[in-house]
Amino acid sequence: MYRFAIAAALIAAPASAATGGLAQVQAHLRAVTTMTADFAQTDRTGRTVTGTVTLKQPGKIRFQYQKGVPLLIVSDGKAFTFIDYKVSQVSRWKVGDSPLALLLDPSKDIARYAHLVPGAPDGRIVIEGKDPKHPEFGTITIGFAAKRGAPGGLMLAGWQVLDAQGNRTTTVLSNQQFGGPVSDKTFLWSDPRPKNRGH
């Protein structure tokens, strides 16, 4: 049942709610300085894990998973780092190679990469984005809810990512807070590999 609730939360907005459309989303992204939120992430098998996400523009984000999930994802503004502490494995890729680049580069003209998705509940705007030159990076569908007092009058509700293999991951946010102090130290991480490897 939880999966269906997540899917419903990201259903697209009707044309009436999409007034201003991409321009309103762009204004929101450029107005966000920091954001913290709780997240629930559901993969293609229906398994859901939770955690907290911390965002600091431009380009920094940290996904801290719940206790017992030995994973960490951090962006320092230039690259994402995926750390699996269980197997001491570290992977890195450019921010621009991720669908989340739409959220992490407020200077980007999202009209070049995204379009409005029409037709759903009031008070929501949903956009779908992908890099047409690199379909292997996947497609992201991002939902925003109207909220007075939030940056640009919108609140990031969550997103779905469909990768090149057809696997879908859904992330829903709650308890969003904007504009609070966030230290750059938040985006540091502990390297589980042998000390001579560095990062």
Q: What long-range pairs does 5-10 form, CB within 8 A, spacing at least 24?
A: 6/40, 6/42, 6/158, 6/170, 6/172, 7/170, 9/143, 9/157, 9/158, 9/172, 10/126, 10/141, 10/143, 10/157, 10/158, 10/159, 10/160, 10/170, 10/172
Specify the CATH architecture of the domain 2-49+103-180.
Clam (2.50)
Whole-prediction pTM: 0.83
pLDDT at 16: 40
pLDDT per position as a tens digit, 1-29: 334 344 444 444 443 444 468 889 999 99
Q: What is the pLDDT of residues 86-96, one digit of tens each?
A: 999 999 988 87
188/190 Cα distance (integer angstroms):
7
Domain ranges across the chain: 2-49+103-180
Higher-pLDDT residue of 51 and 16 is 51
